[in-house]
Structure 1
Amino acid sequence: MASDARVSKKAAAMALAAVAGMSLTSIPAAAAVRPTARQPVETAPGAQAASVPGIPKPPTGLSALSWLVADADTGNVLAAKAPHRKLAPASTIKTLFAVTVLPKFTSGTVRRVSTADLAGLGSGSSVVGVKAGRRYTVDDLWRGVFLRSGNDAVHVLAAMNGGWRKTAQEMEQNARRLGAHDTTVKSPDGYDVPGQVSSAYDLTLFARAGLANDDFARYCGTPRARFPSVGGTPIENSNRMLAGSHGVSRYPGIIGVKNGYTSKAGNTLIAAARRNGRTLLVTVLNPQSKVANGVYKEAGSLLDWGFRSAGTAEPVGTLHAVQGTSDGRPLLPAAAQANAVGVHPGSRWRPALVLGAGLAGAAAVGLTGLLAMGRRVRGRGE
């Protein structure tokens, strides 16, 4: 009987691996295939990168708890470390907030801010300086969100969207539509709240979806702007890799996306850069080195490696595919549309989005749930 049980368990494991192996492009290979020298499973120690002769290995000495390098045009994951590890995202979760809320209001819409709009702003939050009683355009508010990571601006936009809780629920729903299953939203601004988590994989998905929208790309790529107040206070993007500030040089080809920090999350960053017709995305979560500007240095070294290797490096997985829409709605998944290509019609960037089979999406849900390792989060806000 014991022998029969062992055989049954082995058969079940082989069946699960077979289902995963049948999936096409919308499930990360690291979570979908059995371990080999070229495609290690997510639980393997260290970084995941295919070993190919003549292709440089990813940089050593990276201290981040989780990171991922992807080709934004094809969706190929070039290398990763613990891509589905659930961690506090800090303000990088504002990418999902923007993907969810930004299409709903025209940039010229004016909001007279009330005291209720700013209620619940967490102690120690990063703010851009939104004041109750003043009028702001939606364009102003989004610059406050992207440049200064203003939680006050997020609160106003969430109030316009129907409230804090409704916005958090919509963000989670949108995350699932995009194929992101590691993300739980409790506070749309990224403030440390118990239970709020995301992953390098999910955050990369949000950034990729966002960059297919012209407005998102414009806001996240703006180094400096003016914010309405007495005299029009100048503001600088807190993403040092974009602004070229605080001892960090502007990264060549940088086009965004979003940085963050909280006491629980540590430093977090999603960075996108374009060179020679190729766009790469790098997400870095919580470097442990304590080196000044460590998150930017690690992201820069990963981008450097990606540009040296892109086009020749063997992918270790694929980002869940999404399809653009022509009516301004948030991007939705297109896993069921096998062998199709979706491009946001108004995008300057126009990524080629690789689509997969519906079975792949179903397998991704089950396998991601089995493999992801979560941790509860607490702490003070950004």
Structure 2
Amino acid sequence: MAAALTAFTLLALSSPPSAAASPSSPLNAAASPSSPLNAAASPSSPLNAAAKAVVPCPRPKVKPPTGRPARPVPPPDDPVARAVGGDALATNGLAVPAGVAAPPALTAATWLVADLDTGEVLGGCGPHVYQTPASVQKLLLAATVMPHLDPRQTIKVAQSDLDIEPGSSAVGLVRGGSYSIATLWLGLILNSGNDAANALARVGGGRSGVPATVKAMNDEAKRLGAYQTHAVTPSGLDGPGQFTSAYDLALISRRLFDRADFRKYALTRSATMPAQKALKKGGFQFQNENRLIFNYPGALGGKTGFTKLARHSYVGAAQRNGRRLVVTLLGAENNPLKGWQQGAALLDWGFKLPKDASVGKLVDPESLATTKTTENAPVTPGPTNKAPQPAAAPQRDSSRTLTFAAAAAVAVILAATPLLLLLTQRRRQRVRRRPRAQYHAGPS
């Protein structure tokens, strides 16, 4: 029995981590199977096999518009990052619970529906496929900077805040004008103002300005578990190497919809830009561009986005019968449905699903932090003369201080123990049967 347990211990300690986990992955490829990342599943597991069988997402029968720019080359796929939240999400195609009604046919290249409160993913289409974000990236800016800025603070607009791509959206800030942080948030969320994004990023970055805020945005994305998100601009205007995914957007949006101040801004239908009397500029009113709040019962708000490269992107949330859902979609065309209408169709589909319907999970930042701390903590080996307990789970964490050589030595000692005891016992029996004189003869 001891030898059998020893062999089991040796096998568990000597087993290599999953081959699908990249050593350079930010997710720590040696995570245990119980990790909330659910990233260490065997490539031959039924879940991974199912993920490889791509089910096409429903699409409407419409011709794509001509003249679309070529899709930027995404980073290489990391099999670990693609499995964040569950193996079923590691697909380029459709991931929905078995037996449910088919989701609506959409032009969105990728999308996801999730429960804001439980974090359950109800369904998705290419949830981890890289896409360009457009202005929904402003949600990452808000998630990063909003907790640190006083909404009552007043700042002056600099010329650099107005340096945006010609023809892109702006809320109409004036150089040298004075605006409250709250007004800038309204300009960012309602009117998708790139000038407001630049001003907020500049102030949020302190002396280092916009570059510091962009770095903080990327740090915040990693903290949330949005490992496929990389920001280059604070506004979402296209930049080389700028990507996100439908899953990542849901993680970011979930944190924002937990904030009362964000929900208040997102549900504001119209706001007033104050006059700048010293600059002889009058005030004006601007509207919320997210039509969901005007047309969908229970709407909680969201964010629209568009660039020629990214196409239409959208994030929207709503509540119904005590349930809050969020939808994210990327790479959509506005025919036959506009972005917010595609979001509304997904919300309708999601609210009809049973509450226990799920194909994955939005990872929780607190759980990620706990997992990383636990996995990176040094482990003190116990006494080597104690037999392993059958109930203990085999550890596959490469950060354990017990090396393979030490484990092999322990295994040899434990395996030899029963044999040594047996030989010693027999030797003692033979000794007791020998005459005393013979036993004491020989050199002393």
| Superposed counterparts of 1:63-212, under 5 Å | 63-118=107-162, 120-162=163-205, 163-212=209-258
Give the distance between the partners of 1:337 and 1:169, measured in 2 at CA.
21
Kindly provide the amino acid, as one letter, of the partner of residue 226 in structure 2.
A
Whether 1:303 aligns to 2:347 is yes
Greater relative contact order structure (CA < 8 Å, 6+ sep): 1
Equivalent pair of 2:121/2:359 in contact (CA under 8 Å): yes
Corresponding residue of 2:303: 258
Instruction: Note the C-alpha offset of 1:58.
Output: 2.1
Corresponding residue of 1:50: 97
Give the distance between the partners of 1:281 and 1:317, measured in 2 at CA.
14
Go from structure 1 to structure 2 and tell me whether the alpha carbon gap of 1:19 and 1:148 turns closer, same or farther (over 3 Å shift): same
Equivalent pair of 2:90/2:127 in contact (CA under 8 Å): no
Instruction: Note the C-alpha offset of 1:293.
Output: 4.0
Give the distance between the partners of 1:232 and 1:260, measured in 2 at CA.
25
Equivalent pair of 1:66/1:80 in contact (CA under 8 Å): yes
Tell me the percent identity: 38
Where in structure 2 are there 5+ consecutive unaligned residues? 1-14, 22-28, 54-85, 276-280, 374-394, 399-444
Cα deviation code 1:177-226 (max 9, x no counterpart): 00010011110100011111111011111110111122112112212221
Give the distance between the partners of 2:40 and 2:307, measured in 1 at CA.
31
- Aligned CA RMSD, in angstroms, stands at 3.0
| TM-score, normalisation: structure 2 | 0.64
Go from structure 1 to structure 2 and tell me whether the alpha carbon gap of 1:130 and 1:300 turns closer, same or farther (over 3 Å shift): same
Instruction: Note the C-alpha offset of 1:232.
Output: 3.0
Go from structure 1 to structure 2 and tell me whether the alpha carbon gap of 1:241 and 1:337 turns closer, same or farther (over 3 Å shift): same
Give the distance between the partners of 2:324 and 2:222, measured in 1 at CA.
24
Cα deviation code 1:133-189 (max 9, x no counterpart): 111011111100000000101111111123121111100001000001001111010
Kindly provide the amino acid, as one letter, of the partner of residue 140 in structure 1.
T
| TM-score, normalisation: structure 1 | 0.73
Instruction: Note the C-alpha offset of 1:261.
Output: 0.6
Equivalent pair of 1:92/1:270 in contact (CA under 8 Å): yes
**Which structure is larger by alpha-carbon Rg, 1 or 2?**
2
Go from structure 1 to structure 2 and tell me whether the alpha carbon gap of 1:155 and 1:51 turns closer, same or farther (over 3 Å shift): same
Where in structure 1 are there 5+ consecutive unaligned residues? 1-10, 245-249, 324-331, 339-358, 363-382
2:33 to 22, 38, 43: 22
Go from structure 1 to structure 2 and tell me whether the alpha carbon gap of 1:279 and 1:28 turns closer, same or farther (over 3 Å shift): farther
Cα deviation code 1:83-116 (max 9, x no counterpart): 1111110010111100111111111101122224
User: Bigger CA drift: 23-32 or 149-158?
Assistant: 23-32
Instruction: Note the C-alpha offset of 1:28.
Output: 8.1
Q: Alignment length, in residue pairs?
A: 310
Kindly provide the amino acid, as one letter, of the partner of residue 50 in structure 1.
P
Give the distance between the partners of 1:320 and 1:133, measured in 2 at CA.
43
Give the distance between the partners of 1:27 and 1:265, measured in 2 at CA.
30
Instruction: Choose between structure 1 and 2: higher strand proportion.
Output: 1
2:288 to 222, 233, 237: 237
